[in-house]
Every structure is written in structure tokens, then in C-alpha cells.
Chains A and B, each alone.
Chain A
């Protein structure tokens, strides 16, 4: 019998498989899983499912040359938030399937979560990435306060949804640690969270920097400007533009004391 977790693992892996091969791929894995469950038991059959991800990645890598940003098109802010909401909702659904941890001995999973968040925000994120969102000069072309507020709300929502995605792993950690204090799987998930969360937060900041501060759409048409030899005399950066004409972003190729973060220019302000 295929359990809910095994079914979910295969369904998620199937999302990586190209559309035209997905149905047959899923049929083969479900069939093999049924036989694996009969021959090896539920736990080993679940481990068997994990191989589906390598298989799906192989098919994806060999079947299509399209970059992942094209496949998961996150250009518009609504799509980006929608995508994160789907992942967060999946985490909530899976989290609710995990049974409640036994009441005794209670372990402070909330404290652990808070510790991981603080570690990610305060220690790992600043040492792995610049936390600056860039340089947005105030001038007469600057958008209204509500537009600027919308940008911060968008960033806050992204971070909140990323934190919500940790619901299922944290619930599993709480369950596993109460069931078996020496659980290897709980330790592994904690390590994944500790290292994965700074990457997720780093992505949210990098994504924010690459969006127009007015319409929040992804910037496009990157063009290299200048050359390293003329760094003291002219720009040496990559220029990106908002396709709706709100402005341009200059991302320095080398970080210097006078040009160390991406610099945004509202259109017609220079």
C-alpha cells in the first residue's frame, strides 16, 4: 500500500519531469513503489521514493535546455508570491499530516525554530551575502510613499512565506525529537534548515534587488557597460532596465568605496 508521504514524494518529484513524459514516469515509479513496498516494507519503500528526485532531475536536465527561471516564471510580483504561497501551503498540508508529538517529555520546538531564524538572520545571512537592497536616490521622480511601502510589504511577504515553508520540517523535528531524542533524521533536518534558511533569505534579497522598485517586476535586458581597465574614469557595471520604463539599475562589477551596491536611477532623473 502506498502511504500519503510516498504518494506526495512522487507527486512533487513528478513536477520536475517534462510534461510529455510525466504520466508514464509517474506510472512507472508508482508501479515500482508498489513492488518495493511488498518486498521491502514501508520505511525502505519511502527511501526508494527519494531516488525519484534524481531520476526526475536527470530527465529534466536532459530533456530541456530552458533555464529554471523560464519554467517557473516569477517575473510578476503576483506570480512570485503565488509560487511561494503554493510551497508554503504544501508545507502546511504536509505538516498537518505529521502526528502530534507525545506530550511528555515536551521539547521546545518553538525555541529551536526561533534559534534557527535568529542564527539565519543575524549570523549566517550577513556573512554569506550583502543585506543591502541597493541605493535608491531620493529625487523628484521618486515614487509615492505608498508605492515604496508596497515594495517593503512585498519583501516582508516573501520572507514570511519562506518562514512558513519551514512548518512541515519543524513539525517533523518536534515529532522525531520527542519520539526518539537521538533521532538522526531530526538532526539532519535541523542542519538543512540552518544552512538552507540563509540561502532562502539570500534569494529573497537578491530577487528584491533585481526588481523594479515601482512595478516590482523583474528587470530585463542586462547589458555590460564599461571595462575594468577604465574603472576610475567611467562606469564598469551591468545595466538592467524595467520593461515598463520606470528606470534602470546599475550593478557594479567590482565593489568599491564609491560604488559598492546596485544603484537605481528613476527614468529621466539623470
Chain B
């Protein structure tokens, strides 16, 4: 598809993790097994490329649960399209992420 972002294996893995419901950096790290120094810069890059968007949780919700507010990441429409394309390019990723997701308590 013309103009579509080409992703590295790592970026595709992170995009898959977000698509699979890991909506913040730490959960992406847990699912992919990648270190923080890889995951967070990759999240910035994906956000800059418009494949994901971030949003802060409402402070009142975090305060009610006595924890810090978190920054959540969501796939954009363009990110969804890229994710589907990357599933064709890296067919084993979906299985990998699916397996990791299954292992989570």
C-alpha cells in the first residue's frame, strides 16, 4: 500500500501488543519482553508517525484509587491498517503476542 509506514520487527511487536490491549508502556514491556529503553522510544516514534495516540487518565480516577495517573496508548485508524499489514509481513507475531497474552495471569 503506498504511503504506508514500514515497521521494524520490534515496532511491529509493540504495535501488536497495543492492539492486543496493552495500553501503557509497562504492560507492553511485560508482553513483549523488551526493555524500557526500547519500548518508550518506540512508543514516541509510533505516536510521531500517527500510528498510536496517547491520552492521560483522568486525575480524579487515579486519585480515587490512590495511585498515579497513567498515560494510555491507543491505535489510531492508520495504526490499525499498519497493524494488519504488519501481520502479513510478520505472521508469527500474532502467535507470539497471543501466547504471551495467554500466559498473563
Render B43-61 as a binary contact track against A, CB cut-off 8 A, 1 for contact. 0110010000000000000
Report if B95 contacts A (CB, 8 A).
no
B69 x A54 contact (CB < 8 A)? no
A32-B25, A48-B36, A52-B36 are contacts. A58–B41 as well, Cβ < 8 Å?
Answer: yes
B37 x A54 contact (CB < 8 A)? yes
Bound-state Cα–Cα, A52 to B39, Å: 10
Given contact pairs A28-B71, A48-B36, A50-B36, enumerate 14 new A-B contacts (beta carbons under 8 Å): A31-B68, A31-B70, A32-B25, A32-B36, A34-B68, A35-B70, A51-B37, A51-B39, A52-B37, A52-B40, A53-B37, A54-B41, A55-B40, A58-B45
Render A31-60 as a binary contact track against B, CB cut-off 8 A, 1 for contact. 110111001000000001111111100110
Bound-state Cα–Cα, A34 to B40, Å: 16
- A interface secondary structure, majority: helix
Bound-state Cα–Cα, A28 to B37, Å: 14
Bound-state Cα–Cα, A39 to B67, Å: 13
Report if A30 contacts B (CB, 8 A).
yes
Number of interface residues of A (CB under 8 A): 19
B interface residues with partner A (beta carbon < 8 Å): 24-26, 35-41, 44-45, 48, 67-71
Residues of A within 8 A of B68 (CB): 30-31, 34-35
A-B contact pairs, 26 of them (CB 8 A): A28-B71, A31-B68, A31-B69, A31-B70, A31-B71, A32-B36, A34-B67, A34-B68, A35-B26, A39-B26, A48-B36, A49-B36, A51-B36, A51-B37, A51-B39, A52-B37, A54-B36, A54-B38, A54-B40, A55-B36, A55-B40, A55-B41, A58-B45, A59-B44, A62-B44, A62-B48
Bound-state Cα–Cα, A14 to B98, Å: 35
Of B26, B37, B41, which contacts A32 at CB under 8 A? B26
Bound-state Cα–Cα, A58 to B71, Å: 19
Bound-state Cα–Cα, A62 to B69, Å: 26
Instruction: Kindly identify, within residues 120 to 179 of chain A, every residue whose CB is under 8 Å from any CB belonging to chain B.
Output: none
Bound-state Cα–Cα, A122 to B37, Å: 36
Which among A30, A49, A50, A55 has the highest number of chain B CB atoms within 10 Å?
A55
Closest to A28 in B: B71
Which among A28, A30, A48, A54 has the highest number of chain B CB atoms within 10 Å?
A28
Instruction: Kindly identify, within residues 47 to 102 of chain A, every residue whose CB is under 8 Å from any CB belonging to chain B.
Output: 48-55, 58-59, 62
CB distance from B4 to the nearest CB of A (A): 21
Closest to A29 in B: B40
CB distance from A54 to the nearest CB of B (A): 4
A32 x B48 contact (CB < 8 A)? no
Bound-state Cα–Cα, A55 to B68, Å: 20
A32 x B38 contact (CB < 8 A)? no
Bound-state Cα–Cα, A59 to B40, Å: 10
B44 x A32 contact (CB < 8 A)? no
Residues of B within 8 A of A48 (CB): 36
Residues of B within 8 A of A51 (CB): 35-40
A32-B26, A35-B26 are contacts. A55–B70 as well, Cβ < 8 Å?
Answer: no
CB distance from B81 to the nearest CB of A (A): 24
A55 x B71 contact (CB < 8 A)? no
Bound-state Cα–Cα, A48 to B26, Å: 9
CB distance from B33 to the nearest CB of A (A): 13
Residues of B within 8 A of A55 (CB): 36-37, 40-41, 44
Residues of A within 8 A of B25 (CB): 28, 32
